[in-house]
Chains A and B, each alone.
Chain A
Amino acid sequence: MTRVVYSEGEDRHATPADYLSGGWSIRSWLLTVDHKRIAWLYAVSITLFFFFGSAAALLIRLELLTPAGDLLSAESYNRLFSLHGIVMVWFFLIPSIPATLGNFLLPMMVGARDMAFPKLNLLSWYIYTLGGIFTIVAVIAGGVDTGWTFYTPYSTLFSNSAVLAAAVGVFIVGFSSILTGLNFVVTTHTMRAPGMTWGRLPLFVWANYATALIMVLATPVLTVTLLLIGLERTLGIGIFDPALGGDPLLFQHLFWFYSHPAVYIMILPAMGVVSEIVACFSRNPIFGYTGMVLSIMAIALFGFIVWGHHMFVSGQSLYAGILFSFFTFLVAVPSAIKTLNWTATLFRGRISFDAPMIYALSFLELFTVGGLTGVFLAALALDVHLHDTYFVTAHFHYIMVGGAVTAYMGGLHFWWPKLTGRLYSRAWATTAALALLIGLNLTFYPQFLLGYAGMPRRYHSYPDEFSILQVLSTLGTGVLALGYLLPLIYLSWSLRRGEKAGPNPWDAKGLEWQTPSPPPVHNFRETPVVEEGPYAYQ
Chain B
Amino acid sequence: MPTNKSRPAVQFDDMDQQRHAGLLGMWVFLLTETLLFGGLFAGFAILRLQHGAVFAEATGHLNLPLAAINTALLLTSGLTMALAELAAGARLRRATLRWLLATIALGTLFLGIKGFEWYSEFQRQLVPVLNLPFHYSSELPAASGEQPVAAVAELFFNLYFIATGLHALHMLVGLGILAAMLWLAHRWRRPDRIDRQLRIAGLYWAFIDVVWIFIFTCFYLLRA
Contacts and interface: CB of A to CB of B under 8 A. Distances in A.
Interface of A: 5, 7-8, 107, 112-118, 178, 181-182, 185-186, 189-191, 216-221, 223-225, 227-228, 231, 235-239, 242-247, 250, 253-254, 257, 522, 527
B35 A182 contact: no
Interface stretch (B41-49, B117-125, B188-196): B41-49
B46 A190 contact: no
Interface stretch (B107-115, B152-160, B176-184): B152-160
Q: Classify the interface of chain A: helix, strand, loop or mixed.
A: helix
A218 B13 contact: no
Contacts of A527: 13
Given A237-B158, A245-B47, A254-B43, A216 B32 contact: yes
Interface of B: 7, 10-13, 17, 20-21, 24-25, 28-29, 31-33, 35-40, 42-43, 46-47, 50-51, 54, 128-131, 146-147, 151-152, 154-155, 158-159, 162
A190 B40 contact: no
B147 A244 contact: yes
Contact of A7 (B10, B20, B25): B10
Nearest to A522: B10
Nearest to B147: A245
B31 A231 contact: no
A216 B36 CA distance: 10
Centre residue among A216, A220, A245, A257 by max chain B CB count within 10 A: A245
Contacts, number: 125
A450 to B, nearest CB: 36
Contacts of A8: 7, 10
A186 B26 CA distance: 10
Given A225-B39, A244-B154, A527-B13, A216 B130 contact: no
Contact of A113 (B10, B25, B35, B130): B10
Given A221-B36, A223-B39, 4 more contacts: A113-B11, A221-B39, A224-B37, A228-B43
B12 to A, nearest CB: 8
A186 B32 contact: no
9 contacts: A117-B25, A181-B28, A186-B24, A191-B12, A220-B38, A235-B129, A244-B147, A246-B155, A250-B43
Given A186-B25, A245-B50, A178 B32 contact: yes
Nearest to A217: B35
Contacts of B154: 238, 244
Contacts of A216: 28, 31-32, 35
B155 A182 contact: no
A5 B115 CA distance: 54
Given A116-B11, A224-B40, A231-B162, A244 B155 contact: yes
A257 B39 CA distance: 9
A115 B24 CA distance: 13
Given A239-B158, A245-B147, A221 B38 contact: yes
A345 to B, nearest CB: 32
Contacts of A117: 21, 25
Given A244-B147, A245-B47, A247-B47, A237 B128 contact: yes
Given A113-B10, A237-B158, A247 B50 contact: yes
